[in-house]
Amino acid sequence: MDLRLQDKNVVVTGAARGIGLAIARVFSDEGAKVLMVDRDPEVAPRSAEIAGADHLVCDLREATCMDEIAARLAKMGGCSVIVNNAGISIMASIAEATDADWDEVMEVNLQAAFRLTRQLWAQLAERRGCVVNVASFAAKRATLFGGNVSYTVSKHGIAGLTRAAAMDGARDGIRVNAVAPGVVDTDLVKLHDEDTRRKIQGMIPLGRYARAAEIADA
């Protein structure tokens, strides 16, 4: 498969593991230069294993992180693709969720995607680039057993951000799309006990969780 990405500069957030790491590998395999961003220092050895990849350890909740990403991509020649993948989940129902839990999930899952896209918009317009937001099936409905209000709302927000940015991008030559995975076997679902895992898999036609590489290939 040749996606003609040899001259493209790509930034992937949440790239130390899971879907983000799988996406970084796919872009590298297609010849793109990839900037892998994560607050986990583990992103450094992961990027060293991927041809054409570099890394940046920073916290997307901080404004300085956005500046650092923009500066690094400018040195690379400008951003061609943003993959807004970083995400966290704090399990809590609407009665249990604290303001701190809510704010943290929104900052990482939604605010960071908005701020990074805004920060790099001019670079994208210059290169007629694109944005891929990693949403979730929770962007269309609640999570399967409830009890995850902040995550569900954040992913509805990602869906809305994608639609709004796509309208703005049409004027500036920027394409904006989202991928909405079902339940993927990543660190976010490692807390599922065997009973929960069995119930969820029983609702999935394939009878199993998706794999990160399958989302990356999409």
Q: How many CB atoms lie within 10 A of CB 7?
A: 11
The phi, psi pair for 184, rounded to 5°, reads -115, 140
In what helix (H) or strand (E) does residue 37 lie, and over which residues does it extend? strand 33-38
Q: How many CB atoms lie within 10 A of CB 3?
A: 12
In what helix (H) or strand (E) does residue 54 lie, and over which residues does it extend? strand 53-57
Adjacent-strand bridge partners of 131: 82, 176
Based on the residue annotation, tell me whether 209 is a catalytic residue of this protein.
no
Task: Give the end-to-end CA distance of the chain in Å, rounded to a whole number.
Answer: 13
Among 151, 152, 184, 215, which one carries the catalytic annotation?
151
The residues annotated with a catalytic role in the active site are 151
